[in-house]
Amino acid sequence: MRRELAVNFVRYNANYENFDSCQGWADVTLRKHTRDKRRFLYTKRELQNAETHDPLWNAAQKQMVLTGWMHGYLRMYWAKKILEWSPSPTVAYDIAVQLNDRYKLDGRDPNGYAGIAWAIVGKHDRPWGPKRPVYGNVRYMSYESTSRKFNSKAYIERIALLERNRLSAS
């Protein structure tokens, strides 16, 4: 069913590659929180190079760059953090699409666009409470909550090993 939702999202939404694909409720809440203070701001280059303070996010980005793939649960976390660390939701959406299209094996695939739209602009989702800075009512994910559902430490170690092996092979 998710695949069909993704295909329909791209087929029937001319704005699937940008912020204008936003759900109405998400558009209202994100615009209301656009000027919220962000604890961290990263450039596209810093994100591309996995140069953030967050070891889990960095590992997900490195996995994508090194292998063209990213664990499905972390794809959500990855996009949501781009929203949190960008100066605006429109910039976040653009960066997520650019990185996804460049590094993912399924870049330019409906599933990638639908995943980014779900994570950043509430596509196929509903408003969540309580409102949070930057996110408003868009579903939030944190390192702590992700680590309760996912073995973050083992994942980070596995990606570090993958990176070391790639570097020693070259």
- pLDDT per residue of the chain (170 residues) written in tens, 0 to 9: 789 999 999 999 999 999 999 999 999 999 999 999 999 999 999 999 999 999 999 999 999 999 999 999 999 999 999 999 999 999 999 999 999 999 999 899 999 999 999 999 999 999 999 999 999 999 999 999 999 999 999 999 999 999 999 888 87
Place of tokens 């993912």: 104
HSE at residue 15, side-chain half, CA atoms within 13 A, is: 11
* Host domain of residue 18: 2-169
The verdict on whether omega for the bond into residue 130 sits within 30 degrees of 0, i.e. cis, is yes
Residues 44, 137: Cα–Cα separation, whole Å: 25
* Overall domain count for the chain: 1
Find the angle CA(140)-CA(118)-CA(41) to the nearest 5 degrees.
Answer: 55
pTM over 0.85, yes/no: yes
Strand partners, 136: 132
CATH of the domain at 58: 1.10.579.10
Residues 92, 95: Cα–Cα separation, whole Å: 5
